[in-house]
Amino acid sequence: MSSTPRLERGDPARPADAGPRFSPAEMMSVAAARVLPDGASCLVGIGLPSTAANLARRTHAPELVLIYESGTIGAKPEFLPLSIGDGVLGETADAVVGLVEIFNLWLQPGRIDVGFLGAAQIDRFANINTTVIGASYRAPAVRLPGAGGAPEIAASCRETVIVMHQSRERFVEKLDFVTSVGHGSGPGSRRRLGLLGGGPSAVITDLGIFAPDPATCELVLTHLHPGVAVEDVLAATGWKLRVSASLETTGPPTEHELAALRALEQTRPAGAR
Amino acid sequence: MTNTARQASRRAAIVPLAVAVAETVHDGDSVALEGFTHLIPFAAGHEIIRQQRRDLTLVRMTPDIIYDQMIGMGCARRLVFSWGGNPGVGSLHRFRDAVEHGWPGPLELEEHSHAGMANRYAAGAAGLPFAVLRGYLGSDLVGETDTISTIACPFTGEVLTAVRALTPDVAVVHAQRADRHGNVQLWGITGIQKEAVLSARRAVATVEELVEELEPQPGAIVLPAFALDFVSVAPGGSHPSYTHGYSRRDNDFYVAWDGVSRGRETFARWMEEHVLDP
C-alpha cells in the first residue's frame, strides 16, 4: 500500500502547501480517532465508529482495547470487520465471552471507558435516534435498525463519543424517537434517570466537533474542520446552534493518518458503508 | 407465552434437517434462530421457508438476512428483536417493506435492546419469569414495548428495569460438530446460543459434521444431548454467516443482498432459484 496520499478533486479548499488533500469523511474519521486515548477500553459500534477506533489503534493509540458487543474483548483486527461479529474479531481477541456476560458483567457496572456510537438523528443534548424516522413508531416513514446495544452503552460507559454525518435532517430540534439517552433534557437529567456513565463528551461530524457545555449540557461547536465555515455548520443544524467563543480549526489529517485510514478502508468489501 | 419452570426431558435424535423442522416448528409457533453474526442457522431457516410455516413469532437479537428472507416469504406474523439491519451495509429491505408497507403482510414488533434480549433469554433458561437489569433508562422503547417494566429491589428499594423472560417454542442453533450421542460443541463467538437453547421448549442444532469424539477446544460450549431434541448434519449450514474453524463470513454476499432484496420481484426470483428450487 502506498504511503503517499493520493490527490482527490473536490476536497475542501486548502492552500497547496498545507499537506495532503482529504475528503470531509476522512477528516471525520481522523478527528474521531484522535479523541480516543491510548490505553482506554472502548466499546465500538459498527460502521463509522469501528473505522475510527481501528484507525486510532494504527496511529496514536496502539494500546486501545477494542471491545465489540459480540463479546470480543481486546480485538486486534488486521482488516475492517463488516459486522461486529466477524471472525477476525474472535480470532484476535484477548477474550471472547457470551452476550449475557458482555452486557451484564462488563458493560453494566461501568467498567468500560468509552462508548463509541453512530446515530441517524441527534438533538442538542446529544440524545440519539436509531429506531424510526417519522412521527409514528407503529407506521414509520423509515424503519431504522433499532437500538442494538446502544441504550446501555450510552448509559454505562464512562463517556460516550458519537460520530456521524451532519445534515439538517440528522441534527434535529426534536428526535422522532429517543433510542439512547445523551444528556436527556439538560443538567441533572442523567442523574435523575439513574444513568451511571458521564454521557456524551464529543460529537464528531464531517463538518466539525461539538462538545456539551458544562453548565447547560447543550452541544456547542468547538472545532471547524479545515475549509468549513460556521455558516455551513449552522445550515446543517436544525436547532439554534451555539458556537464556542474559542472556536478552533481541527488540525488537518497528517500523511500518516491519511495513509493508515486509506489502507484500512481498502480492506473493506466494495459496497459497504 | 407462559413460563414453565420445569423443562420436559429431552434426548437428541440425529435426523435429517427436514425431519427436525417438521417435528419441531409448527404454524403459529415462536421460533428463535440464534447466532450473533457467527453460526447463524441459515440452512434451518431455509428449510422452514420450504415447509411454508406461517404466523410464526420470530425471535432473534439481530434479525439479519435469514429473517429478512423469512419475513419476505411470509413466514412471520411478529418479530421480537433488538437490531434489524444488514451490519455495515444498511437496511434489511424485506423487514422494512413489512413494517413500512405491510408487505407481504403486516409485521407486529416487540422491540428491545441487546442487553434486554440477552437477559430475557437468560431468565427463560433459568426458569425465572423475568430478568433484572439497568437498562432502557430514558429510552422511548419503554413506552412501546410491554415486556419492559420496573421492579423495586426488596433490599434497597432501588427501582430497576425488569424484562419478561423469553421462552420460545423452538430454538435453533448451528454449531461446529456433534458426536453420535447428540452432544453438540460450538466455539468462537458463542453469543446467546446456550441461553436460547435452554430457554426454549424444543431445541434443534444443525452441525457441520458428526465426529467420533468431541475434542476439547478453547472457549467451547458443549450442549449435552439431553438439552436438545434433534441434531441434523448441515455442512455449510451457516452460509453466508460463518462457522469458526470451518468457513469465513461471506461479506460479499451481505453487500450483494442489499441489491437482491430491494425489490419484491428480484427477491422472489432469488428465493425461487436458491432456496425453494435449488
User: How open is the CA angle B226-B66-B263, to the nearest 5 degrees?
Assistant: 165
What's the pLDDT score for residue A18?
Answer: 60
B40 neighbourhood in chain A, CB within 8 Å: none
Helix extents (H) in A59-149:
87-92, 99-101
The ipTM, to two decimals, is: 0.95
Using CB atoms, pick whichever of A86, A146, A151 lies closest to residue B37. A86
Containing structural domain, residue B54: 13-113+168-265
**CB atoms < 10 A from the CB of A138, how many?**
9
Interface test with A, best of B60, B140, B254 (most A CBs within 10 A): B140
pLDDT in tens, B197-252: 999 999 999 999 999 999 999 999 999 999 999 999 999 999 999 999 999 999 99
B102 in a structural domain: yes
> Does residue B121 fall inside a structural domain?
no
Structural domain includes residue B199:
yes
Backbone φ and ψ for B96, nearest 5 degrees, come out as: -65, -40
Contact yes or no for A86 and B251 at CB 8 A: yes
Rounded to 10 degrees, the C-alpha dihedral A76/A49/B94/A130 comes to 140
In a domain, residue B133? The reply is: no
Q: Which residues in B lie closer than 8 A to residue A78 (C-beta atoms)?
A: none
Catalytic site includes residue A257? no
pLDDT score for B9 = 77
Is a pLDDT exceeding 50 seen at residue B163?
yes
What number is the average pLDDT over the span A206-212?
98
pLDDT value of residue A271: 67
* Look-up of cell digits 442523574: A191
> Could you tell me the pTM of the whole model?
0.94
User: Is residue A14's pLDDT more than 80?
Assistant: no
Q: For residue B6, what pLDDT band results from cuts at 50, 70 and 90? A: low
**Omega cis (within 30) before A37:** no
Cell numbers placing B25: 416448528
B37–A84 C-beta distance less than 8 A = yes
pLDDT score at B75: 98
* Residue B65 covered by a domain: yes
Q: Which of A50, A82, A99, A273 to mutate to test the interface with B (most CBs of B within 10 A)?
A: A99
CA–CA dist A206, A165 (Å, integer): 6
Q: Evaluate whether A190 touches A199 at the Cβ level (below 8 Å).
A: yes
Question: CB–CB of B138 and A177 under 8 A?
Answer: no
Query: Across the interface, do A108 and B248 touch by the CB < 8 Å criterion?
Result: no
Residue of A nearest to B252 (CA): A269
pLDDT at A10: 40
The count of structural domains within chain B is 1
For residue B189, pLDDT over 60 is answered with yes
- Is residue B107 a part of any domain in this protein? yes
Locate the DSSP E strands across A149-241. Answer: 159-163, 200-204, 208-212, 219-224
Which residue from B188, B177, B237 is spatially nearest to B213, judged by alpha carbons?
A: B177
CB contact under 8 A, A83 and B254: yes
Q: Which domains does chain A have, with CATH numbers?
A: 24-205+252-265 (3.40.1080.10)
CA distance A184 to chain B (A): 8
Residue B32 in any domain: the answer is yes
From the CA of A116, how many Å to the nearest CA of chain B?
15
- Whether residue B144 and residue A98 make contact (CB cut-off 8 A), yes or no, is no
Contact criterion met (CB below 8 Å) for A153 and B88:
no
Q: Does B121 touch chain A (CB under 8 A)?
A: yes
CATH number of the domain that residue B19 is part of: 3.40.1080.10
Percentage of the residues of chain A whose pLDDT score is greater than 70? 92
Query: One-letter amino acid identity for B83?
Result: W
Residues A57 and A260: their CA atoms lie apart, in Å, by 10
Q: Is residue B274 part of a domain?
A: no
